[in-house]
Chains A and B, each alone.
Chain A
Amino acid sequence: MKETIGTTGLILNEPLLWEKGCNGRIGYSLPRQDVPSQPLNAEWVCDGPDFPDLSEVDVVRHYTRLSQWNYGVDSGMYPLGSCTMKYNPKTNERQAALPGFTGAHPLLPEDLCQGTLELLYDLQQYLAEITGMDAVSLQPAAGAQGEFTGMLLIHAFHKSKGNPRSKILVPDTAHGTNPASAALCGYRSVAVKSGAEGVLTPETVAQLMDEETAGIMITNPNTLGLFERHVKEIAAIVHGKGGLVYCDGANMNALMGIVDMAAIGIDVLHLNLHKTFSTPHGGGGPGCGPVCVREHLEPFLPNPRISQKNGKFSLSEGFPESIGRLHAFFGNVGVMIKAFSYILSMGPDHLKKASQLAVLNANYVKEKLKDLFYLPHDVWCMHECVFSDKHQVAYHVTTLDMVKRLMDYGFHPPTIYFPLVVSGAIMIEPTETESKENLDAFIEAMRAIAKEAKENPGLLKSAPTRCKVKRLDEVAAARRPCLTG
């Protein structure tokens, strides 16, 4: 019998921190007390929080065991659509950990942090070049904050023109952060239906665009993995009524070195450094969501801004039309260092190759699975493709059942039930860092699962069986929330 990637692994049980330990233990080396101890005013102080006391051994074993319950990109493939879970280069970690960077206080006088300012300035230039846009702010701490920043820029622009406008167009394929970010800015989202071919049509946009609409938020390529080929015409329609075009750049991995975002009519876009630019996902963050803008939005960019004169770098808050600060300091510099390293490691030709191979990988997987899984749009996709559970409905097997079984085969599931326009959606984005044999193993696993769905659906319904736990009761977790120990 051929062995799969999926096995039970080394899974040791480990209690919660406060279920271990013993009063008086410590895992930390207390620095020397070389100054007198201060008396404390009983009015202000107390015993301190109820933390467990643990030894260093306790802590190391605890977290080593916990880590062994986690799947990571270092363990195997994550074909999560719109997440771009590409390999996280280790040289990036070496650079971000340099004491010169980690030990830098953000309020250092300019001449004491020229190295870091140079890095940030160069990164801005690189991102502007890659997107084709004119100016960049690295401040937003994640994609969603980048979107919020984009909305604020659009809002500030319209306010400066005298009419703040109240609505924004949001396609039905948009990520949930899009309407949420628009709402934070006081905009009412107006849904735009995608056409039968899965892309936006100029006619639909024209019908909805008016002078009360601030603009449109598009994702390109969209969440069906398709290039919005009418984007230039749509941008013209929106611009024609004085609106602006925001692009959710989460899917930039398909376009590096290939598409010019300014040329297609984008006024502002955000990037996800933790997607396209290989910085690690960290179990949920930190990320970094820089915004890139055309000239006409530059005056509104967040403060402070980094500039360069005669080889000297400086920070300035002298931009009166700026929307202000989004972050206490400059954003997630530790993450930016990793993206900077990545861009320098890849260089212009490999960045383009990365996009080309990302698209090749997605099309390869699509072709190899479309006979067993329903493909709503049977065309060349970009860096991701979307299937659904339509063929498996007859066996009472859902998308959820199939992906839970995929874990037993040693793969992280793809994105499921998104985009909302495809019922039971399965969004697969292999990324370019997966080799052909990894893809073949994934394809084989998916094909085996399609067979099981037909012949032995019970296996899927009870999956996963090889992980630390089986399917967890999410209903009980929501009905009677237990959020602290």
Chain B
Amino acid sequence: MRYLPHTDEEISEMLKVAGADSLEDLFTQIPKECCRRLRLALPEAKTEWELNAHMDRLAGRTASAAQWKNYMGAGSYEHYIPAVLSYLMGRGEFVTSYTPYQPEISQGTLQGIYEYQTLAARLLGLEVANASMYDGASALAEALLMACRITRKNRVLISRAIHPHFRQVAHTYFAPTEHETEEFPFLENGTTDIAGLSGKSDLAAVAIQSPNFFGCIENLKAFADKAHEMGALLITTFTEPLAYGLLKSPGSLGADIACGEGQSLGIPQSFGGPGLGMFATKMAYVRNMPGRLIGKTADPDGKRGFVLTLSTREQHIRREKATSNICTNNSLCALSAAMYMAVLGKTGLRALSQLNIDKSAYLRDRLSQKGFPQAFTAPNFNEFTVKAGPEFEKKRRSLMDKGIIAGVPLSTYYPELSGHYLFCVTETKTKEDLETLVSEMTS
């Protein structure tokens, strides 16, 4: 077997050195009643070629971007990933390296992630970003816990316009603690109702997503001002970071912590994971922040180098008093994101963000003209919600037979929004694609 290099001869020699008669002998330290009686009931080993065929068959039975026109967003986005990224991300020195605890032989990862931290902080308009969390949902949960630690208060208010799965994950994290979560509503125009903050006391944080789950841009400044007035932190979250290629950053609008999903930044959708939990905050809060951090320093010869730092916040030192239990994060995805931001640059990112707005506005307006009005009037980025009515589900199913997935039905998440569908248009759809969709939907 190509991953097991030992020959029988070598095994014999090594057993002699180890003082054992056979491989089984080495396991006599394990009591008999702990051992398996039967051989593992797994499929027999496949050759590389059989495995390829098997995997091709499984992959072929999934509706993916190559053959389908998918207009779903809702936390996972189809964006072009340049060949440069796939090529560079295949380098074994990045893929097969360990966490950079020994910095002298990990400067590639360390500088790469330091660069990611910097670009992420600049994108979100805050002073420091960590080296990544698992995904946007767990990043939000950790941000809420961090706010409770900083303010020493127990209650957090979460907008109902935040991605439903993010809210569910926050509830899971909060369930065993003494802290409370409370949700507050959104308005008819698709944005969160700031009046929902009135009369609330003892708040550690207020959490808002922008662009929100419906695609609408929120007034983060108003929420920042109100939250701060109430002695709470403003936590902003996002699922589509490309929006910040153009929109004012959360930090510039008063966010204390900005966290969310970075999958759009050069990471394939892969049925929902791995993604990228982005997390940024102010330097004043850095010692309360979860996750790894990379800092700049020098060696005895004065050469610049990078190291993991402020590790005393983390589990391997602080153990039960750690800011989080996180150990392995999504480092390789953070590196991909940095590469993506590097190839786009300031110029490219702005142009790509504009293109996303343009493409989705085109579909939005064409659908409006053709009897599919917008549900919400607030401005949007690359997602928008359409009032399609109860009859549309049947039409949507028939469109799948034509290789088109027309949006995400919202009724499972918001019972009051049945007949509403969330559409996403990115740079991957041509005008022709959009016209085809419009014509199919109206036929």
Contacts and interface: CB of A to CB of B under 8 A. Distances in A.
Contacts of B172: 152, 302, 323-326
B391 interface: no
B72 A107 contact: yes
Contacts of B86: 97
B64 A103 contact: yes
A332 B328 CA distance: 13
A48 B379 contact: no
A310 interface: no
B29 A483 contact: no
A179 B325 CA distance: 8
Interface stretch (B94-102, B149-157, B182-190): B94-102
Contact of A52 (B4, B28, B327, B342): B342
Contacts of B347: 23-26, 53
Interface string B423-443: 000011011101000000000
B315 A351 contact: no
Contact of A283 (B109, B268, B299, B327): B109
Contact of A100 (B60, B122, B431): B60
Contact of A345 (B6, B23, B45): B45
A249 interface: no
A349 interface: yes
B327 A177 contact: yes
Contact of B169 (A69, A180, A328, A366): A328
A330 B59 contact: no
B82 A142 contact: no
Interface in A33-50: 33-38, 40-41, 44-50
Given A436-B13, A473-B299, A46 B246 contact: yes
Interface string B136-148: 1110000000000
Q: Determine chain A's interface SS by DSSP, over half rule.
A: loop
A94 interface: yes
B201 interface: no
A481 B274 contact: no
A284 B55 contact: no
A94 to B, nearest CB: 7
Given A74-B96, A351-B42, A484 B128 contact: yes
Interface in A104-135: 104-109, 112-116, 118-119, 126, 129-130, 132
A234 interface: no
Nearest to B23: A356
A75 B297 contact: no
B305 A469 contact: yes
Interface string A17-38: 1100101111111111111111
Interface string A44-87: 11111111111010111011101111111111001010010111
Contacts of B358: 33, 35-38
A240 interface: no
B169 A326 contact: yes
Nearest to B55: A95
B272 A333 contact: yes
Contacts of B295: 477-478, 481-483
Contacts of B284: none
Contact of B345 (A14, A53, A350): A53
Interface stretch (B33-41, B192-200, B227-235, B367-375): B33-41
Contact of B51 (A91, A112, A363): A91
Contact of A350 (B45, B314, B331, B408): B45
A367 B19 contact: yes
A357 interface: yes
Interface string A283-324: 111110000000000000010000000000000000000011
Contacts of B294: 483
Nearest to B15: A360
Nearest to B126: A484
A175 to B, nearest CB: 8
Contacts of A14: 111
B417 interface: no
Interface residues of A, number: 203
Interface stretch (A184-192, A389-397, A449-457): A184-192
Chain B, interface size category, equals 35 or more
Contacts of A101: 59, 62, 64, 270-271
Contact of B100 (A108, A256, A284, A435): A284
A88 B297 contact: no
Contact of A18 (B24, B30, B118, B331): B118
A40 B397 CA distance: 35
B112 interface: yes
Interface in B5-37: 5-6, 10-11, 13-15, 17-20, 23-24, 26-31, 33-37
A129 B42 contact: yes
A116 B269 CA distance: 13
A302 B315 CA distance: 24
A44 B247 contact: yes
B41 A129 contact: yes
A472 B430 contact: no
Given A46-B246, A118-B58, A471 B300 contact: yes
Given A59-B339, A183-B321, A282-B95, A26 B348 contact: yes
B258 interface: no
Contacts of B333: 282, 285-286
Interface in B140-181: 163, 165-166, 168-169, 171-173, 175-178
A471 B138 contact: no
Interface string A243-285: 0000000000000111110011000000010100010111111
B215 to A, nearest CB: 13
Contacts of A374: none
Interface string B328-368: 11111101001101111111111111110111011000000
A193 interface: no
Contacts of A32: 430
A180 B36 contact: no
B303 interface: yes
A284 B99 contact: yes
Contacts of A118: 58, 61
Contacts of A331: 272-273
10 contacts: A70-B107, A104-B270, A142-B329, A176-B314, A177-B325, A345-B46, A468-B104, A472-B307, A473-B297, A484-B127
CB-based closest 10 A-B pairs:
A329-B272, A347-B45, A100-B59, A115-B61, A282-B332, A106-B272, A284-B331, A103-B64, A70-B108, A74-B92
